[in-house]
Amino acid sequence: MTAKDMHDIKWIRDNPDAFDRGLARRGLPGEAKRLVEIDERRRAAIQKAEAALARRNAASREIGAAKKSNEEAAAQALMAEVARLKAEIPALEAEEKKLSKELDDALAQIPNLPLPEVPDGKDPSGNVEHHRFGAKRNYGFAPQQHFDLGEDLGQMDFEAAAKLSGARFVVLKRGLARLERALGQFMLDVHTTEHGYTEVAPPLLVRDEVMFGTAQLPKFEHDQFMAINVDFVKQAAGEYLKNLEPSVKEELERALASDAQDPARDFADRAFVTMMSHFAEVAGAQQTRRWLIPTAEVPLTNLVRESIVDEAALPLRFTAGTPCFRAEAGAAGKDTRGMIRQHQFDKVELVSITTPEESKDELERMLACAEEVLRRLDLHYRVVTLCTGDMGFAAQKTYDIEVWLPGQGMYREISSCSLCGEFQARRMNARYRARDGRQIRYLHTLNGSGVAVGRALIAVMETYQQQGGSIAVPDALQRYMGGLKTIERAQ
């Protein structure tokens, strides 16, 4: 990575006040002064290294001239200078690399800056409603929540899922399993045949640099699931333990053998965390670890990483229906019942790659594509513009679609459509060649849910529930359900 791959340090240097104002709108302290100071030290280190290298090359050439003129003393002095510079240059280059990494690490932690039209606010209460579709339905009974409906139907089993995988998983059966599949197929058909998106079947396991490109790493590592080959873990564990100081190893062995309530267990727990962190770092360095994708945004957007696209090929529009995996590390105690927050869920993702001039219009188009899915399902929803305090890390501007859930009696997010500008493109080094063939610029990237399949299932269940707990199948889905019009409890 180079410093330009996250934020443009030259722009920050030229516009420090504007950069800090953008961060202040997100509720963050100014960073321009610190970043510029690091960059000045980095640039000074580069100049010193380049000057030393240039002088070494010049002195090397002067040695031959001095010898040719029989100036032996001068030649010896030049040879000594070359030897000194040769010894100094690696340290100068190491200092440059250290400062470049310090700048890169600092820039990688800083979010995208909001566009001027994004409303200011500290939390979701600052979001601004844009428009609504449909109306809340009136029921002649108290509508139930999806988990009560699903369990009463005998087709949604959280207990079985817990035995298999733990909390925040679900087993769907019969009609509900088919309904979830139908929803994903319906969405993909609409986006590919009517909205011009190219369907992609991407890998579900990706490398570090791919997660970095879309900004899941390093800031949100805690919310991701990592996969490491078990043979590697065993080998690394053996090497790790073999290299421990004998006294530390003895203390660890005593701690592991102690009672669960013994204070020594705390040492063992901390040692385990340290060891796993070591495995992860080594695995990453050796490219033996992969990350389970939290959304298909990650592989779809990275399809253009480290490439230069011709402007004539833009916009690129991709869609994929995939499982998604999230640790939900910050969701302790939230939505513990039901399917709202799952470690594994299905989602149909939309990604657009376009030019700076077209990206704002593309955001409106993407929003309309996601809305069309909900309109055809006749689900009541509203669209809100997220405020600066509620926007995602990589976003410049975001629309959320919030579907009405009658059982919960509240709106819940079912899609987020975000414009990221060149933020992700810089991290991926994704550019395009302008039509004139001369200018090369960073692409603009956008992503959105088109929509979250699991939450669409919840919305359909709660919206289309009938007296007695059966679920009517929306007209748009019946052909995907073999003509089935109602999901009922199996007799």
Tens of pLDDT, residue by residue over 58-84, are: 989 899 888 888 888 988 898 998 899
| pLDDT bracket for residue 346 (50, 70, 90) | very high
> Which of 2-16, 177-191, 401-415 bottoms out in mean pLDDT, i.e. has the lowest?
2-16
* pTM assigned to the model: 0.89
Neighbours of 368 (CB within 10 A): 12
* Mean per-residue pLDDT, 392-413: 98
Structure tokens at 323: 């499982």
Residue 310's Cβ-side half-sphere holds a number of Cα atoms within 13 Å equal to 5
Q: Which region, left, alpha or beta, applies to residue 19 given φ > 0 means left and ψ of -120 to 50 means alpha?
A: alpha
State the average pLDDT for the chain: 92
> Which of 108-122, 141-155, 237-251 bottoms out in mean pLDDT, i.e. has the lowest?
237-251
131-188: pLDDT as tens digits: 999 999 999 999 999 999 999 999 999 999 999 999 999 999 999 999 999 999 999 9
**Cα 465 to Cα 139: distance, rounded to the nearest angstrom:** 9
**Cα 67 to Cα 268: distance, rounded to the nearest angstrom:** 67
187-223: pLDDT as tens digits: 999 999 999 999 999 999 999 999 999 999 999 999 9
* Mean per-residue pLDDT, 321-337: 85
**Cα 168 to Cα 342: distance, rounded to the nearest angstrom:** 5
Neighbours of 199 (CB within 10 A): 14
Angle at 52 between CA 49 and CA 56, to 5 degrees: 140
**According to the model, what pLDDT value does residue 243 have?**
78
More reliable by pLDDT, 230 or 314? 314
**According to the model, what pLDDT value does residue 263 have?**
65
With a cut of 90, say whether residue 228 has pLDDT above it: no
369-396: pLDDT as tens digits: 999 999 999 999 999 999 999 999 999 9
**According to the model, what pLDDT value does residue 335 have?**
81
Structure tokens at 468: 């007695």
Structure tokens at 254: 């005593």
Structure tokens at 213: 């490109």
Angle at 246 between CA 245 and CA 248, to 5 degrees: 65
More reliable by pLDDT, 267 or 44? 44
> Do residues 387 and 350 lie in contact, with contact meaning Cβ atoms separated by under 8 Å?
no
* Mean per-residue pLDDT, 262-279: 69
Largest CA distance in the chain: 109
**According to the model, what pLDDT value does residue 4 have?**
40
